[in-house]
Amino acid sequence: MGSKDVYFFGGTMTEGNAQMKELLGGKGANLAEMSLLGIPVPPGFTITTEVCNKFYTEGKDAVVKMLTEQVKEAMGKVEKVVDGPKFGDKENPLLVSVRSGARASMPGMMDTILNLGLNDQAVEAIIARSGNARFAWDSYRRFIQMYSGVVMGMKPVEKDDEDVFEEIIDELKHEKGIKLDSEFVTEDLQELVKRFKAVIKDKLGKDFPTDPWEQLWNAVMAVFESWMNDRAIFYRKLNNIPAEWGTAVNVQAMVFGNMNDRSGSGVAFTRDASTGEDLFNGEFLVNAQGEDVVAGTRTPQQISLEGSRRNAVLKGFSEEERKASGLSLEEMMPEIFKELTAIQKKLELHYKDMQDLEFTIQDGKLWLLQTRSGKRTGAAAVKIAIDMLNEGQIDEKEAILRVDPQKVDELLHPIFEPEALTKATVIAKGLPASPGAATGQIVFFADDAEHIMKAHVGRKLILVRIETSAEDLKGMDAAEGILTARGGMTSHAAVVARGMGKCCVSGVSELRINYKMRTLTIGEKVYREGDWISLNGTTGEVYDGQVDTKPAEMSEDFETLMKLTAKFARLKVRANADTPHDATVARQFGAVGIGLCRTEHMFFEGKKIIAMREMILSETTEEREKALAKLLPLQQEDFEGIFMSMQGLPVTVRLLDPPLHEFLPQDITGIEEMTEAMGISESRIKQKMSALHETNPMLGHRGCRLANTYPEIAVMQTRAILQAALNLKKKGIEVFPEIMVPLTSSIAEMKMQEGIIRKTAQKVFEEMGDSIKFEVGTMIEIPRAALTADQMAESAEFFSIGTNDLTQMTFGFSRDDIGKFLPIYMEKGILKEDPFQVIDREGVGQLIKMAATKGRETRPNMKVGICGEHGGEPSSIEFCHIVGLNYVSCSPYRVPIARLAAAQAAIRYK
Amino acid sequence: MGSKDVYFFGGTMTEGNAQMKELLGGKGANLAEMSLLGIPVPPGFTITTEVCNKFYTEGKDAVVKMLTEQVKEAMGKVEKVVDGPKFGDKENPLLVSVRSGARASMPGMMDTILNLGLNDQAVEAIIARSGNARFAWDSYRRFIQMYSGVVMGMKPVEKDDEDVFEEIIDELKHEKGIKLDSEFVTEDLQELVKRFKAVIKDKLGKDFPTDPWEQLWNAVMAVFESWMNDRAIFYRKLNNIPAEWGTAVNVQAMVFGNMNDRSGSGVAFTRDASTGEDLFNGEFLVNAQGEDVVAGTRTPQQISLEGSRRNAVLKGFSEEERKASGLSLEEMMPEIFKELTAIQKKLELHYKDMQDLEFTIQDGKLWLLQTRSGKRTGAAAVKIAIDMLNEGQIDEKEAILRVDPQKVDELLHPIFEPEALTKATVIAKGLPASPGAATGQIVFFADDAEHIMKAHVGRKLILVRIETSAEDLKGMDAAEGILTARGGMTSHAAVVARGMGKCCVSGVSELRINYKMRTLTIGEKVYREGDWISLNGTTGEVYDGQVDTKPAEMSEDFETLMKLTAKFARLKVRANADTPHDATVARQFGAVGIGLCRTEHMFFEGKKIIAMREMILSETTEEREKALAKLLPLQQEDFEGIFMSMQGLPVTVRLLDPPLHEFLPQDITGIEEMTEAMGISESRIKQKMSALHETNPMLGHRGCRLANTYPEIAVMQTRAILQAALNLKKKGIEVFPEIMVPLTSSIAEMKMQEGIIRKTAQKVFEEMGDSIKFEVGTMIEIPRAALTADQMAESAEFFSIGTNDLTQMTFGFSRDDIGKFLPIYMEKGILKEDPFQVIDREGVGQLIKMAATKGRETRPNMKVGICGEHGGEPSSIEFCHIVGLNYVSCSPYRVPIARLAAAQAAIRYK
């Protein structure tokens, strides 16, 4: 054959490097890279991805034949590096691991075999050399279990299939009267090996293979086979990974941290993963394997003396107590510590990022098993990025790319005190509807929340509702957080809470709320009004009792990062804001305009809701105009406030969108209030409510359908917008109004609205003797509007893509109702992501792209943006950048996230 | 210039012909054609459409200059043909009409001026020559009104603008103490002319023009100007007529049927428009204008003696009475009758179609004013087409094209007795939801209808409901017709009624139904249970009382026509059928398979609904499987019945589609029945109902979302289908089952369903020791499925495009709720057609095309059809043909319509 199919790594003979991921897979390439850096890595070799393809075209025998010489040679090099143990040797056997490693990470999809090379002789040799019989037998029985599962097909496939090995283990426990695996003594493990072998012989009619080479070849082939198992195929399909990529196979010498007291295992971070401080830190355990460090059965020791001392201060330990609780690695094995310190520095400088390391010390020798970019908090991410930029390790683009925009959210909302959180109990889990942490006393009614807060400033309340409606706004504002039993990520509660920057957990289906009794029942436990609970809106967790929180802290580094984004982002970031307060917050966070000002939220206060209801109850155009005349000055005032907050920046005002019945009272009390306030009969209200009832309100009489049937509504709103703008203009304030028509599905609808708006504008300008520039555009939120965007652009001067509704209609999913199947769809992998959170690029994305492309065919400089929840979600923002939109608009508290995501997209996709 | 801009027609000098529509417009080209045939047409000339474009690029003066000589010359020819009157002559003035005439018909969009050439002298000359002063003055005042409106801009533009002429007329009526225009005497008309002129002078500061040539040029230019009026622009936009086409102007000599007793006007049909019989027939009036014949103030006389005698027989007149009531034209003016008979024959042979003629006799001379294809009933259309085919006038393709598929519907349903209908009063109008006529006694509850029909066979009932639900099925079946207050053309009532071939009028918003009082109120009138009403489901009209109906009659000619369609149609026609009865009807009408068998309708009977509800109330998979096990044999039985009816033909079975709450009772009585039947508490049922409640059920937990969350449902249904198929196979009956997954939005959903179905099939085949070929496909009814059809086709073996839901989601219109705005949208021209009736080619059509194209990219021989209401609508069927679908599926009673439409599409679009 002559081709090179096996690449050695380790010692000074490494053949691959980090650039060779296509051939060696991610794992193989990185092991080679570490080795090239001179870092001690257990030696091994990688069989290339191309061999995997040969395996499928030419079969097992051809592949074994082709590889035999190369593998033998590579194994020879491994033996040379480990200098002593030899593969298959009876006195000093070399054990290896066999692992898959594809070009893209496919966690858990394919198989791994550890401790390969063990057999009855080898186990004795290991005992002889390590002096640790239990360790050796436990390794052996695990090897048999793993190998016969993966290679010999004895692994249960479906969850109901029997697992013969687990049955044997349970049987022996029963016989011995013990409960835990750790209670097995050496003889028990020996017994297990015996029974395992017997059951294999019984089931398969053949013996467990004792020849290490036979074991090795079979294991390698099994890894190749696992590339085509159902899980892997499904995973690749979901992640668009071509089958032709194949997987590499890594064969690597085993090292053992649990061999003796000159051994150990640990994990370390090159900087503080919580604060970002430039401090090498980590934990380790003597005479232990990697799993033991994370398992928590033994308390790990600190790596550095400084870390150990800081820890002692936190715990209030004296120096004596500190030493008694466990010395640091620096104290116990100073040479190893020095070597590790040098390695971590080297790795960080090489990878130019904070690293998360795994190491094992075997009999006084340090081995690195893994290095990867370390996970970190949002605060740490920002600090590390800016520090490394200042250190000259990375450039500005890289600094921006280093911060996960999702993590930035943490910096903008309160979080739980880490200490308090360790003692808290999760009682339920729902959707992480609006981030942040909140603790407070339960209240069930929005009115109550409002009244309590007026009477007792400083009280902390959690508003608990089956679902919220527009009437609950003030109560939501008064509460620390909102918890609902129904509703998804884009339910009323979720959307409003995010807009307020307030914590919310929604759709917690296990909540049973009894409004009459004022109780909340979760499982067996009953919570009453006034009881404390806590919410984590970032994770969706609900906690029992009071869990202390601490406020958001925005660092100087964060400001630096935000300034950097402006240098690179091409997408503009606007905010969705309906009040002067929201507008001001958004502006502080760096929004360059309002992309969505919803006028309907304005109608829910005092006089406005009364006039609105009069309008709805009108039977004639005249009555309707009379009621609208009352609304006009109130709306105008609202607009003046918002225009003032946003002076100098554009404000997109969306005309009335929701169905009229949303403005009618939702219950008997509301109806009674209405009859009193308006002096009309209950039956008339009920009659109107019934007339306005819709089977599918989402697809009903709303948006421009309202204003096309009752044009006087659009007339009033246009008046209010332009009169407000002209009033401010008189005072020398710059205003850029953009009037947006919602829910258009055809050019005829749009043209009719445009006509009404322009005609009204002309009248207003004549009346006021002055004029102002304004634009008329439309939401693209109905599939048909996207499909016919070339026509829509004949009338619309800008498009704002309403991805919430567009997603609803493109998928046929009601966001109010998806709670019944979306969680199951996610669990079964039918949906990888909630399409209401992350833009579905394959489906909805086609329509977004079509809207922009077709719109610009007609109007080449068409401004196209998105509003809706996706405007603040990084992957969606990236997509908007890729398809060439002009801006995204999101809730004020997500503006920084959007700015960062926009900059990242611009760097990644030019 | 040298170009030819004016084309003469009339006498023997005609310059244009029917092929020159682009240049002369439709009207001009056809007038020329008639003239070429030697038929006496009032002479005139056509100014070409190209001149219209010049008018807009070069202006009025240039056009007048260019035309002057040509128009003078053409006018000279007109004068030559009329041989006497001359344009602008004082003694014998020639009057002309000026009319627009575009390439495409734009009825009422542009302006017309009659009697042009009149002035104070001309009116006296006309009186002198005609001896009819009243006629002359009335013509004059009408001319002033028309001319000053069109040319001088005195026509009211908006409906609230004042109409000065009508005000003057009203004033004079008031002064004279009269009410009708016809009561004016000559002097009054003279007075009107005076006052009209005065008001023109007053308003415009100039006199009404007296020079006929000035009148003519201004009129011609006004017609060109009307090409760009708002109405015309809007109409063109709606109908995709390019502005560049321009309009021609026709100037034609006036002829007067009301000049004296040797004059008259009439209309005639070359064959009987009602029955299709080959009988020349029509009506006329002596000394009258065309308007008078249709106005109905005088009773017109028959044209032929035979017609007159037939008429007399119908009325029971003796020959004396017949003569007294008015002689036929044949008797009164035998020469004219002879000439007319020859002309009608010539025109029919020339145009090869039944013609509708307008003629005027002026002072003993016959003039033809118009000929066009005559409107006809469905029965007449079929008979005429087949007769003409047999006569050798037209070929098979032409015969097929001659029958309007919509009219075929009339042949398949009962209609009102024409005589009875003349006496009936329309009391309300709704949507023509399901065609046919029905008369019966009002009943408000489906149960009642069922019981009454069991007790009193032969009673006729009309079921009157606010809306219907699945529980009403049997009652709907028992009634003659269904009337609902809510719901559109695709509401439950409409869809089910069409499927049953039963008359239905839906969405009659003026109905007020009180179930408790059992009353139906329309306006002031209250109808009680048992009162008679009648429905016309073809027009949407509701009649007071009993209006007799007569059953459908299918002629031999119709059978011949249907056989012809098979020769040409490329699209196959299947039926939507859920029962063996429906399947049999469909097969009789020529369906070649079932394209949509909805399984949910099967669940509403007796034992099935109980088992279904047990399934819904299940809390665990085990409980659910137990309930499903009860449903299995019942479903299997259903399928055996349908497969048997359809043996040898494919049957597409759609798995469960609607949300589960549709199977729960809708009211208290239902809940009580359920608690009794199932022995469970009311509160449990209510709890489940509340848990299943959805805000937007259309976009909720339904379709494959149900079967993906509860796979056991799909397992049971697959079993039922395949066990039924294998049972019949055993008996030697051929079955071709196609299993269809509803409401897929992604390939992952589809693959999961396909997996369940294939796995179940394998089990069934193993159990029964036999197998059968079947296909697995999906509905494409969600925009995303169409957008990703290339992926869907990886799993689906066929696509059935569900145009109802696809239209709902593409437009964002809930078909249950559109009643609130759709009528207004149609009225305002925002929608030209109800998209739930006629496929929206521009929007929804893009997705349909995409589904077929992308699907076949993956699976080149993919079978793609549509089901849903559009499958029986001719324009939609044409679209399906154009985009290359394989079949349409529609309700059984529309199969013949679909077959005809499919053949027409194939002939028109190859």
Active site residue: B52, B413, B492, B503, which one?
B492
Report helix, strand or coil for B537: coil
Q: In this predicted model, which residue has the larger pLDDT, A330 or B469?
A: A330
Angle between helices B405-412 and B874-882 (to 10 degrees): 130
Q: What per-residue confidence (pLDDT) applies to B2? A: 60
Q: What percent of chain B has pLDDT over 90?
A: 64
Write the single-letter amino acid at A594: I
B chain contacts of residue A816, beta-carbon cutoff 8 Å: 694-696
Catalytic residue list contains B503: no
Q: Which residues of chain A, if any, have pLDDT below 70? A: 1-2, 107-110, 157-161, 238, 291, 294-297, 490, 553
Q: Which pLDDT value is given to residue A295?
A: 60
Per-residue pLDDT at B827: 80
Among residues A451, A471, A510, the alpha carbon closest in space to that of A461 is found at: A451
pLDDT at B79 over 90: yes
- Nearest residue to A558 via CA among A381, A375, A396: A381
Helix extents (H) in A59-132: 60-82, 120-130
Nearest to B699 among A698, A701, A708 (CB): A698
Joined together, the tokens standing for residue A682 give 């209950």
Cβ pair A695:B748 closer than 8 A:
no
Chain B partners within 8 Å of A783 (Cβ): 783, 809-810, 812, 843, 847
Phi, psi of A211 (to 5 degrees): -80, 115
Q: What pLDDT does A1 receive?
A: 44
Residue B552: partners with Cβ closer than 8 Å, 6 or more residues away: B411, B412, B413, B414, B415, B436
A695's tokens:
């089977």
Q: B365: closest CA among B332, B335, B345?
A: B335
What is the per-residue DSSP string for B304-349?
SHHHHHHHHHHHT--HHHHHHH---HHHH-HHHHHHHHHHHHHHHH
Q: Once rounded to an integer, what is the mean pLDDT over residues B417-429? A: 87
Q: For A343-354, what is each residue's pLDDT tens digit?
A: 999 999 999 999
* Predicted local confidence at residue B587, as pLDDT: 94
Q: Do A782 and B694 touch (CB under 8 A)?
A: no
Q: Residue B569: enclosing H or E segment and its boundaries?
A: none
A700/B830 CB distance under 8 A? no
| β partners of residue B737 | B651
Q: Do A847 and B749 touch (CB under 8 A)?
A: no
**Is pLDDT of B665 > 90?**
no
Q: Using CB atoms, which residue from A791, A809, A830 is nearest to B749?
A: A830
Residues 6+ apart with CB under 8 A from B674: B613, B664, B665, B680, B685
The average pLDDT across B616-623 equals: 88
CA–CA distance, B576 with B595 (Å, rounded to integer): 6
- CB-based contact A821 B705, cutoff 8 Å: yes
- A783, A817, A842: residue with CB nearest B783: A783
Q: Say yes or no to pLDDT of B1 above 60.
A: no
Name the one residue in this structure whose structure tokens are 């051929």: B734
State which residue of chain A sits closest to B708, comparing Cα positions. A825
Chain-centroid distance of CA B348 in Å reads: 26
Q: Are A217 and A117 in contact (CB under 8 A)?
A: no
B-interface mutation test, from A511, A683, A705, most B Cβ less than 10 A away:
A705
Q: How far is A128 from chain B (nearest CA, A)?
A: 54
Q: How many helices (H) and strands (E) does chain B have?
A: 37, 31
Contact predicate A328/A302, CB 8 Å: yes
Degrees to nearest 5, angle at CA B788 with B787 and B794 = 150
Tell me which of B484, B745, B754 to substitute to probe the interface with A (most A C-beta atoms closer than 10 Å): B745
Q: Which residues contact B881 (CB under 8 A, 6 or more apart)?
A: B570, B571, B902, B905, B906, B909
End-to-end CA distance of chain A: give it in Å, rounded.
43
Tokens representing A33? 């890279």
B760–chain A nearest CA distance, Å: 17
Are B752 and A828 an interchain contact pair (Cβ–Cβ within 8 Å)?
Answer: yes
Q: What 3-state DSSP class applies to B756? A: helix
Mean pLDDT, chain B, as a whole number?
A: 91
Q: Which of A52, A503, A504, A867 is catalytic?
A: A867
Nearest CB among A749, A788, A814 relative to B696 is that of A814
Rounded to 5 degrees, φ, ψ at B887 are -155, 165
Q: In the numeric block, which tokens belong to residue B408?
A: 């075929």
Q: Judge whether A52 counts as a catalytic residue.
A: no
Cα-based distances in Å from A900 to A102, A399, A406, A735, B231:
31, 11, 10, 27, 51
Residue of A nearest to B692 (CA): A820
Asked if pLDDT for residue B321 goes beyond 70, the answer is yes
SS3 of residue A736 by DSSP: strand
**Which candidate, B322, B189, B340, places its Cα nearest to that of B264?**
B340
For residue A814, give the nearest of B238, B700, B844 by CB distance. B700
* Residue B429 · residue B538 · CB < 8 Å: no
CB contact under 8 A, A746 and B830: yes
Distance from CA of B598 to the nearest CA of A (A): 20
The C-alpha of A821 sits at a distance from chain B's nearest C-alpha, in angstroms, of 7
Looking at the predicted structure, is the pLDDT value of residue B823 above 90? no
Q: Distance between CA A196 and CA A215 in Å, rounded?
A: 16
| Tokens describing residue B322 | 């017949």
| Structure tokens belonging to residue A29 | 């390439």
What average pLDDT does range B430-439 have in this prediction? Answer: 88
| CA A541/CA A563 separation, integer angstroms | 34
For B144-161, the pLDDT digits (tens) are 998 998 899 887 766 566
Is A699 within 8 Å of B700 when comparing Cβ atoms? no
Phi and psi at residue A136, to the nearest 5°: -65, -45
Read off the pLDDT of each residue in B90-110 and give the average, rounded to a whole number.
86
Q: What is the pTM of this model?
A: 0.80
pLDDT digits (tens, 9 = 90+) for B743-800: 999 999 999 999 999 999 999 999 999 999 999 999 999 999 999 999 999 999 999 9
pLDDT, tens digit (0-9, with 9 covering 90-100), for B240-281? 788 889 999 999 999 988 888 899 999 999 999 888 999 999
Distance from CA of A406 to the nearest CA of B (A): 27
Give the span between the Cα atoms of B873 and A752, in whole angstroms.
29
Q: Say which amino acid occupies B703.
A: G
Contact A830 B746 (CB under 8 A): yes
Q: What is the largest CA-CA distance in chain B?
A: 103
Structure tokens at B436: 């046919």
Please judge whether A812 and B783 are an interchain contact, meaning their C-beta atoms are less than 8 angstroms apart: yes
Buried/exposed B755-775: b ≥16 CB within 10 Å, e otherwise = ebbeebbeebeeeeeeebebe
Q: How far apart are CA A751 and CA B230, in angstroms?
A: 13
> What ipTM was estimated for this complex?
0.80
Question: Worst-scoring range by mean pLDDT, A819-823, B205-209, B263-267, B387-391?
Answer: A819-823
Put simply, the answer to whether B811 touches A844 (Cβ < 8 Å) is no
CA distance B437 to chain A (A): 29
Planar angle of CA B194, B197, B198, nearest 5 degrees: 85
User: How does DSSP classify residue B115?
Assistant: E
Of residues B695, B699, B810, nearest to A784 (C-beta): B810
pLDDT for residue B113 is more than 60: yes
- As a whole-number percent, the residues of chain A with pLDDT over 70 amount to 98
DSSP state of A93: B
**Mean pLDDT of all residues in B191-206:** 94
Question: Distance (Å) from the C-alpha of residue A697 to the closest C-alpha of chain B?
Answer: 7
Residue-wise pLDDT for A751-761, tens only, equals 999 999 999 99
Taken in order B406, B408, B414, B415, the sign of the CA dihedral is positive
B696/A844 touch (CB, cutoff 8 Å), yes or no: no
What is the CB neighbour count within 10 angstroms for residue B306? Answer: 14
**Chain B positions in Cβ-Cβ contact with residue A238 (cut-off 8 Å):** 748
| DSSP, res B86 | B
Helix pair angle (A874-882, A844-858), 10° resolution: 40
